[in-house]
Amino acid sequence: MTKEEASVVFKALGEPNRLKIVKMLLNNDDELCACKLLGAVDCKQATLSHHLSVLKECKLLESRKSGKNIIYCINKKLLDEVNDFMRDSCEECRRLDE
Protein backbone atom coordinates (compact mmCIF):
# COMPACT_ATOMS: atom_id res chain seq x y z
CA MET A 1 0.00 0.00 0.00
CA THR A 2 1.35 3.39 -0.94
CA LYS A 3 1.24 6.48 1.26
CA GLU A 4 -1.33 7.97 -1.12
CA GLU A 5 -3.60 4.92 -0.90
CA ALA A 6 -3.32 4.88 2.89
CA SER A 7 -4.07 8.60 2.99
CA VAL A 8 -7.38 8.06 1.17
CA VAL A 9 -8.44 5.41 3.70
CA PHE A 10 -7.38 7.52 6.69
CA LYS A 11 -9.22 10.53 5.29
CA ALA A 12 -12.40 8.46 4.98
CA LEU A 13 -11.98 7.24 8.56
CA GLY A 14 -11.39 10.79 9.79
CA GLU A 15 -15.15 11.43 9.95
CA PRO A 16 -16.62 10.19 13.27
CA ASN A 17 -19.73 8.55 11.76
CA ARG A 18 -17.66 6.68 9.18
CA LEU A 19 -15.33 5.43 11.89
CA LYS A 20 -18.38 4.33 13.89
CA ILE A 21 -19.73 2.43 10.86
CA VAL A 22 -16.44 0.57 10.45
CA LYS A 23 -16.26 -0.22 14.17
CA MET A 24 -19.83 -1.51 14.13
CA LEU A 25 -19.08 -3.79 11.20
CA LEU A 26 -15.96 -5.12 12.90
CA ASN A 27 -17.92 -5.83 16.09
CA ASN A 28 -20.97 -7.44 14.44
CA ASP A 29 -19.65 -10.42 12.52
CA ASP A 30 -18.46 -8.01 9.83
CA GLU A 31 -21.85 -7.73 8.09
CA LEU A 32 -24.79 -5.40 8.61
CA CYS A 33 -27.61 -4.08 6.48
CA ALA A 34 -27.89 -0.35 5.90
CA CYS A 35 -31.09 -0.22 7.95
CA LYS A 36 -29.24 -1.42 11.08
CA LEU A 37 -26.46 1.07 10.50
CA LEU A 38 -28.98 3.89 10.17
CA GLY A 39 -30.46 3.04 13.55
CA ALA A 40 -27.05 3.31 15.21
CA VAL A 41 -25.52 6.29 13.42
CA ASP A 42 -26.86 9.74 14.26
CA CYS A 43 -27.69 11.00 10.77
CA LYS A 44 -30.36 10.98 8.10
CA GLN A 45 -30.60 8.24 5.48
CA ALA A 46 -29.12 10.44 2.73
CA THR A 47 -26.12 11.27 4.91
CA LEU A 48 -25.61 7.60 5.78
CA SER A 49 -25.68 6.79 2.07
CA HIS A 50 -22.97 9.39 1.50
CA HIS A 51 -20.81 7.95 4.30
CA LEU A 52 -21.23 4.42 2.92
CA SER A 53 -20.38 5.67 -0.55
CA VAL A 54 -17.15 7.29 0.69
CA LEU A 55 -16.15 4.08 2.48
CA LYS A 56 -16.90 2.04 -0.65
CA GLU A 57 -14.96 4.47 -2.88
CA CYS A 58 -11.82 3.96 -0.80
CA LYS A 59 -12.57 0.21 -1.01
CA LEU A 60 -12.82 -0.22 2.77
CA LEU A 61 -16.40 -1.51 2.43
CA GLU A 62 -17.98 -4.00 0.11
CA SER A 63 -21.69 -4.53 -0.41
CA ARG A 64 -24.14 -7.04 -1.75
CA LYS A 65 -27.86 -7.02 -2.26
CA SER A 66 -30.04 -9.42 -0.28
CA GLY A 67 -33.68 -9.04 -1.26
CA LYS A 68 -34.53 -5.37 -0.69
CA ASN A 69 -31.59 -4.83 1.67
CA ILE A 70 -28.01 -3.88 0.96
CA ILE A 71 -25.57 -5.72 3.19
CA TYR A 72 -22.23 -4.06 3.96
CA CYS A 73 -19.04 -5.72 5.10
CA ILE A 74 -15.41 -4.78 5.69
CA ASN A 75 -12.90 -5.44 2.93
CA LYS A 76 -10.59 -7.50 5.16
CA LYS A 77 -7.83 -7.62 2.57
CA LEU A 78 -7.64 -3.82 2.46
CA LEU A 79 -7.85 -3.61 6.25
CA ASP A 80 -4.91 -6.01 6.48
CA GLU A 81 -2.98 -3.82 4.03
CA VAL A 82 -3.69 -0.74 6.17
CA ASN A 83 -2.52 -2.61 9.27
CA ASP A 84 0.67 -3.69 7.47
CA PHE A 85 1.25 -0.13 6.28
CA MET A 86 0.94 1.21 9.83
CA ARG A 87 3.17 -1.50 11.28
CA ASP A 88 5.82 -0.91 8.62
CA SER A 89 5.62 2.85 9.12
CA CYS A 90 6.07 2.49 12.88
CA GLU A 91 9.07 0.19 12.38
CA GLU A 92 10.58 2.70 9.97
CA CYS A 93 10.11 5.50 12.51
CA ARG A 94 11.76 3.39 15.25
CA ARG A 95 14.78 2.77 13.02
CA LEU A 96 15.09 6.51 12.39
CA ASP A 97 15.07 7.17 16.14
CA GLU A 98 17.95 4.76 16.77
pLDDT tens-place string over residues 4-62: 999 999 999 999 999 999 999 998 777 899 988 888 888 899 999 999 999 999 999 99
- The per-residue pLDDT for 82 is 92
CA angle 25, 31, 37 (to 5 degrees): 60
HSE (CB half, 13 Å, CA atoms) of 67?
A: 3
- 14 vs 94, which has greater pLDDT? 14
* CA–CA distance, 44 with 75 (Å, rounded to integer): 25
Q: What is the mean pLDDT of residues 66-77?
A: 93
C-beta of residue 75 within 8 angstroms of C-beta of residue 61: yes
- The per-residue pLDDT for 64 is 94
pTM value? 0.85
- The per-residue pLDDT for 52 is 96
C-beta of residue 54 within 8 angstroms of C-beta of residue 11: no
Task: Centre a 10 Å sphere on the Cβ of residue 93 and count the other Cβ atoms it contains.
Answer: 9
